Amino acid sequence: MITKLVSDFHLSPLVCRTMNIGKLQRFEPVINRSRINTSGFGDKPLWFRPFTVIKVAEKPSGYGLVEDETLAQKKIELYQALEEINRGIFGIPSGKKLEIESLVKQLESKNPTPEPTLELDKVDGCWRLVYSTISILGSRRTKLGLREFISLGDFFQTIDKAKNKAVNVVKFNAKGLTMLSGELTIEASFKIASKTRVDITFEKSTITPDQLMNVFRKNYDILLGIFNPEGWLEITYVDENMRIGRDDKGNIFVLERFDDNSNS
- Domain boundary assignment for the chain: 3-109, 116-262
What is the pLDDT, as a whole number, of residue 24? 37
Q: In sequence order, what are the residues at sequence separation of 6 or more whose Cβ sits closer than 8 angstroms to the Cβ of residue 61?
A: none
- 108 backbone dihedrals φ, ψ, rounded to 5°: -60, -35
Whether the CB-CB separation of 243 and 127 falls below 8 Å is answered with yes
The β-bridge relationship of strands 197-208 and 180-192 is antiparallel
- 172 backbone dihedrals φ, ψ, rounded to 5°: -135, 155
Cis peptide before 209 (omega within 30 of 0): yes
The fold of 116-262 is Lipocalin (2.40.128)
| Confidence label for 178 from pLDDT (cuts 50, 70 and 90) | confident
What is the pLDDT, as a whole number, of residue 189? 98
Size (the chain), residues: 264
Measure CA 114 to chain center: 19
Q: In sequence order, what are the residues at sequence separation of 6 or more whose Cβ sits closer than 8 angstroms to the Cβ of residue 115?
A: 195, 196
CA distance 29 to 19: 19
Q: Identify the three-state secondary structure at position 257.
A: strand
Give the closest residue to 76 by CA, choosing from 44, 36, 108: 36
| Confidence label for 68 from pLDDT (cuts 50, 70 and 90) | very low
Q: Identify the three-state secondary structure at position 246.
A: strand
The pLDDT of 99-107, averaged and rounded, is 97
This prediction's pTM: 0.73
Residue 55 has pLDDT above 80, yes or no: no
What is the pLDDT, as a whole number, of residue 260? 63
Beta bridge partners of 234: 197, 246
Given CA atoms 127, 40, 84, 33 in this order, what sign does their dihedral have? negative
CA distance 179 to 173: 7
Of 96 and 17, which is predicted with more confidence?
Answer: 96
Count how many Cα atoms sit within 13 Å of the Cα of residue 204 in the half-sphere of its side chain.
2
What is the pLDDT, as a whole number, of residue 16? 34
End-to-end, the C-alpha distance of the chain in Å comes to 45
Percent of the chain residues topping a pLDDT of 90: 66
* Model confidence pLDDT, tens digit, residues 128-140: 999 999 999 999 9
